[in-house]
A = this chain, B = another copy of it.
Amino acid sequence: MKQALETISLKTEGPGFTDVTQEIAGRLMEVGVGTGLLTLFLRHTSASLTIQENADPAVQRDLLETLEALAPRDRRWHHASEGPDDMPAHVKTMLTDCALTIPVNEGRMMLGTWQGIYLVEHRDRPRTREIVLHFLGEIGAPPERL
């Protein structure tokens, strides 16, 4: 039983979903993981992580609009000093996830067919976001490719 820990940085371009599934899968392959538990941890409070449908982009549009309706920027927020998009971003983060745990089987995340891993930006401007990847389980040499 071993563990691997690293932090990746990703750029976002304002409110929206960024599919990070392939990026994460690629890191797992480079580390050479076998079976174990993957934890993704986002080091921010105005963006979040979520696992959602990866087929129709309209799903993401509906999810964003729902979050917008739950945390409208024109509400009279007490915390308003960092701009009208900041407090809604904290609410959206609270209602979604800051961390995800995903079982891994022989190097592959056990996602369902329609599940993708998304970084969701809630602030208006482009940002650099850090995701910590922690893996606990079997780690060996990457399998040989013939």
Determine if A36 is an interface residue (Cβ-Cβ < 8 Å): yes
Determine if A52 is an interface residue (Cβ-Cβ < 8 Å): yes
Q: Mark A52-81, 1 if CB is under 8 A from B, else 0.
A: 110010110111001000110000011101
With beta carbons under 8 angstroms apart, the residue of B41, B81, B95 that contacts A102 is B41
Give residues of chain A (1-57) contacting chain B, Cβ–Cβ below 8 Å. Answer: 1-3, 5, 7, 35-37, 39, 41-46, 50-53, 56
Minimum distance in angstroms from A79 CB to a CB of chain B: 4
Q: How often does this chain occur in the complex, in copies?
A: 3
Minimum distance in angstroms from A6 CB to a CB of chain B: 10
With beta carbons under 8 angstroms apart, the residue of B56, B94, B112 that contacts A96 is B94
Q: Mark A98-138, 1 if CB is under 8 A from B, else 0.
A: 11111101000011111100000000000000101010110
